[in-house]
Amino acid sequence: MKNIFNETLESLENTLVESGFKAFSARQIFDWMYKKDIRDFYEMTNISKDLRAFLSSHYTFGNIDIFTKQYSSDGTRKYLFKLSDGHLIESVLMAHDYGKSLCITTQVGCNIGCSFCASGLLKKIRNLSVAEMVMQVLEVQKEAKVRVSHVVIMGTGEPFDNYDNVMKFIDVINSPYALEIGARHITISTSGIVPKIVQFSEESKQVNLAISLHAPTNELRSKLMKINDVYPLEALMKSVKQYVAKTNRRVTFEYILLQDINDSIEYADALSDLLRGLNCYVNLIRYNAVDEFSYEPTEEDSANRFYQRLLKRGIQATLRREMGADIDAACGQLRTKKTI
Ligand code: SF4
């Protein structure tokens, strides 16, 4: 039996038609699942009895359970979910003045192994299914009694290493018949898997793309992110330029400021040289300390100097307010400490 939350509207329509039912019933089914929160096919009273029986014999609603939750003083909530096979994953809900944003996880563990990131301490065990990603949104909405207005695909895992499921997940949360989260309110973040950036530029999705850059030279980036040995800056920037040319969309570069590692004025200059002329902005994030690593966060003054230098050299940038650091929910801090 399949979990019905794995279905996009289109795949459900196809299944229904192949099985002798009408395609439009998929919209009715989505309406029950996503708008009315019904978890029993026999309660879907506007679809035929035959279809209800078909659905019951082919699909389950599956579930992921909230194992623990932590609330930060700044309103951030971190959820540890237990999957049906016992693996644990995390999601983080952040309250912004523009809405509620959920950072979701795409894999159990991560193979990219960025040297500053706690999430990569657990090697990848498996990809999450579409349903396991969709249910992170549904369960958080239910627990926090909020509507998630923004989704950032930046939790544990490299989303482009689970490409097909992540694309379907985006289709589901963006669908007007499901969660209706606007494409421009969805951001996917990659460590820089070049062929997938090229593939992504061919998708007709209006979602935001963020690149975890963290260093403007190959020498430093390879020290921080092993992926740079496979896809060095020249290849990465070429693919990003292709993406911008193809989609006409602005790209975000994430840059975690690590004290005395990548936060000098020289690196700010190298970064602005690297990005000059590209439709982009830089999201500067002061590092959040992780027990296992010796990196320190850049002092506030130095972070400001770096930020001002980018602005002065014509690069749009923000110095982000970190959220949830007191519950280890900030960028790079997600990790499943608990095992069961
Ligand atoms: S930063 Fe992202 S890609 Fe890098 S190890 Fe952490 S989860 Fe994986």
Answer yes or no: is 340 within a domain.
no
Q: Calculate how far, in angstroms, residue 25's C-alpha sits from the geometric centre of ligand 1.
A: 40
Give the separation between CA 44 and CA 115, rounded to whole angstroms: 49
Q: Calculate how far, in angstroms, residue 274's C-alpha sits from the geometric centre of ligand 1.
A: 22
Element (H, E) at 16: helix 9-18
Residue with the bigger pLDDT between 336 and 45: it is 45
Answer yes or no: is 20 within a domain.
yes
Q: Which atom of ligand 1 is nearest to the CA of 154?
A: 2
Element (H, E) at 68: strand 65-71
Q: Which atom of ligand 1 is nearest to the CA of 113?
A: 5
Instruction: Give the pLDDT confidence score for residue 331 in this predicted structure.
Output: 59
Q: Calculate how far, in angstroms, residue 156's C-alpha sits from the geometric centre of ligand 1.
A: 6
Query: 251-269: per-residue pLDDT in tens?
Result: 999 999 999 999 999 999 9
Q: Calculate how far, in angstroms, residue 155's C-alpha sits from the geometric centre of ligand 1.
A: 8
Q: Is the minimum distance from the CB of 191 to ligand 1 under 6 angstroms?
A: yes
State residue 76 phi and psi, 5-degree precision: -70, 140
Task: Give the max Cα distance, the chain.
Answer: 69
Domain of residue 147, CATH code: 3.20.20.70
pLDDT band at 290, cuts 50/70/90?
confident
Answer yes or no: is 336 within a domain.
no
Answer yes or no: is 339 within a domain.
no
Answer yes or no: is 222 within a domain.
yes
- Residues with catalytic function: 90, 331
Mutate to test the pocket of ligand 1, among 105, 106, 119, 290 (most ligand atoms within 8 A of CB): 119
Answer yes or no: is 240 within a domain.
yes
Query: Same structural domain for residues 43 and 155?
Result: no
Domain boundary among 60, 76, 92: 60
Query: Same structural domain for residues 139 and 6?
Result: no
Query: Same structural domain for residues 56 and 110?
Result: no
Q: Is the minimum distance from the CB of 114 to ligand 1 under 6 angstroms?
A: yes
Q: Is the minimum distance from the CB of 210 to ligand 1 under 6 angstroms?
A: no
Query: Same structural domain for residues 120 and 158?
Result: yes
Query: 81-96: per-residue pLDDT in tens?
Result: 999 999 999 999 999 9
Q: Is the minimum distance from the CB of 112 to ligand 1 under 6 angstroms?
A: yes
Strand 186-190 and strand 88-96: the pairing is unpaired
Q: Calculate how far, in angstroms, residue 115's C-alpha sits from the geometric centre of ligand 1.
A: 9
Q: Is the minimum distance from the CB of 119 to ligand 1 under 6 angstroms?
A: yes
Domain of residue 45, CATH code: 1.10.150.530
Query: Same structural domain for residues 31 and 177?
Result: no
Number of domains in the chain: 2
What is the SS3 assignment for 66? strand
pLDDT at 289 > cutoff 90: no
Query: Same structural domain for residues 174 and 149?
Result: yes
Q: Is the minimum distance from the CB of 113 to ligand 1 under 6 angstroms?
A: yes
**What domain range includes position 16?**
2-60
**Start-to-end CA span in the chain (Å):** 26
Report the candidate in 9, 5, 148, 11 with the shortest Cα–Cα distance to residue 64.
Answer: 5
Instruction: Give the pLDDT confidence score for residue 304 in this predicted structure.
Output: 97
Which tokens hold the place of 251? 């790209």
Answer yes or no: is 197 within a domain.
yes
pLDDT at 128 > cutoff 60: yes
**Rounded average pLDDT over 115-143:** 94
**62-76, 118-132, 207-221, 315-329 — which one is most confidently predicted on average?**
207-221
**Rounded average pLDDT over 17-25:** 98
Report the candidate in 111, 88, 72, 76 with the shortest Cα–Cα distance to residue 335.
Answer: 88
Q: How many CA atoms lie within 13 A of 12 on its CB side?
A: 28
pLDDT at 65 > cutoff 60: yes
Domain boundary among 41, 60, 79: 60
Q: Which atom of ligand 1 is nearest to the CA of 225?
A: 4
* Residue whose CA is at the smallest distance from ligand 1 atom 4: 114
Which tokens hold the place of 186? 């969805």
Q: Is the minimum distance from the CB of 156 to ligand 1 under 6 angstroms?
A: yes
Query: Same structural domain for residues 40 and 74?
Result: no
**Contact (CB, 8 A) for 12 and 26:** yes
The shares of helix, strand and coil residues in the chain, as percent rounded to the nearest 5, are 40, 20, 40
Answer yes or no: is 185 within a domain.
yes
Which tokens hold the place of 240? 């990003």
Instruction: Give the pLDDT confidence score for residue 340 in this predicted structure.
Output: 42
